[in-house]
Amino acid sequence: MISARHAPHEKMAFQLTLRRRGISDQAVLRAMEAIPREAFVEQGDEGYAYRDAALPIACGQTISQPFVVAYMTEQLQLKPYHRVLEIGTGSGYQAAVLSRLARDVVTLERFRFLAERAKSRLAALGCGNVEVLIGDGFDVPDSAGRFDRVIVTAAMEDIPEGLLRHLAPEGLLIAPVGPPSGSQVLVRLRGTGDGFERTNLIGVRFVPALPGIAREM
């Protein structure tokens, strides 16, 4: 349920903003409409949940602005039978949106606090096809297998080979690439059978992806 403090016109404006900025995939728009964004922001920020802006969350991380979430999701070209890997669970919002569009979602988070809180939020919303794991996005275990789609929600200076090994043949990977304090670009890699085809999409600004599992907060 959407909180009563968010009037229908606010949700309508939210959808119109996404459409005006070029989001046209109806399945993505429906998923964005179905997931209550206010359930994923920090207490006290609920009134800003449907603004097209990133918001701070715990552990020095952010919940991405709605347009970026929708754009990255649209660029994944998801099908209902896809298995998706997300690096950087954060609030759990992106994983919730993905859960509406894919068969299974595995999401890795290096902060235990964020992982546990996201797990509770996703369970409360009935996102039973999402598995939240505490782990290192730079060192995904081989046991995780391969994925049709991979999405990274923190900036990497380079996409590690170890992550690419988890991408199925002809799969898609979306990630912000660039230095932590400089310009970053959203990159899409498509498997071609004998390598990867790279497409630079839009300029973005993400918090940096860090290796290892964070110490307890």
Whether residue 182 is predicted with pLDDT greater than 90 in this model: the reply is: no
Average pLDDT for residues 198-206, to the nearest whole number?
Answer: 96
**What residue segments make up the domains of the chain, in order of their start?**
8-204
pLDDT for the residue 8:
67
Torsion (CA) 205, 102, 45, 8 in degrees, nearest 10: 120
Whether residue 177 is predicted with pLDDT greater than 90 in this model: the reply is: yes
- Which tens digits make up the pLDDT trace of 11-29? 889 999 999 999 999 999 9
Structure confidence at residue 2 as a pLDDT band (50, 70, 90): very low
Structure confidence at residue 183 as a pLDDT band (50, 70, 90): confident
Degrees, nearest 5: CA angle 179-77-24 = 95
pTM over 0.85: yes
Output the DSSP codes for 51-113: SSS-EE-GGG-EEPPHHHHHHHHHHTT--TT-EEEEE--TTSHHHHHHHTTSSEEEEEES-HH
pLDDT for the residue 1:
36
- Mean confidence (pLDDT) of the chain: 93
Give domain 8-204's CATH number out of 2.120.10.30, 3.40.50.720, 3.40.50.150, 3.60.15.10. 3.40.50.150
Average pLDDT for residues 48-72, to the nearest whole number?
Answer: 96
pLDDT for the residue 28:
98
- Which tens digits make up the pLDDT trace of 129-173? 999 999 999 999 999 999 999 999 999 999 999 999 999 999 999
pLDDT for the residue 79:
98
pLDDT for the residue 152:
98
Q: Which residues are catalytically annotated?
A: 64
